[in-house]
Amino acid sequence: MDEEVFNMSMRKFLKAVGVTSQRELEQAVRDAIASGRLEGTEEVKVKMQLTCEVMAKPFEVDGTLKLA
């Protein structure tokens, strides 16, 4: 395995995940506030699940987004 190629590929993937995930979360929260499902002062629970064809099981990260 070429570590440099792998590292660059990993960074590119993680950058795409970070940018698109943030955009999707921001839009979902804005839509929920606009529709009245959220007031804009809550905390929103989030979970990210990572799967890969060579992983034995998915990897999950739980968190909370504070809106105010």
Mean pLDDT of the chain: 98
Question: How many angstroms separate the most distant Cα atoms in the chain?
Answer: 51
- Output phi, psi for 59, to 5 deg: -105, 130
* pLDDT of 8: 98
Residues of the domain holding 9: 3-66
Q: Note the pLDDT of residue 49.
A: 97
For the segment 14-32, the average pLDDT, to the nearest whole number, is 98
Distance between CA 39 and CA 62 in Å, rounded? 22
d(Cα 55, Cα 4) in Å, to the nearest integer?
Answer: 21
Domain count of the fold of the chain: 1
Contacts of 21 (CB under 8 A, 6+ apart): 48
Q: Dump pLDDT digits (tens) for 35-58.
A: 999 999 999 999 999 999 999 999
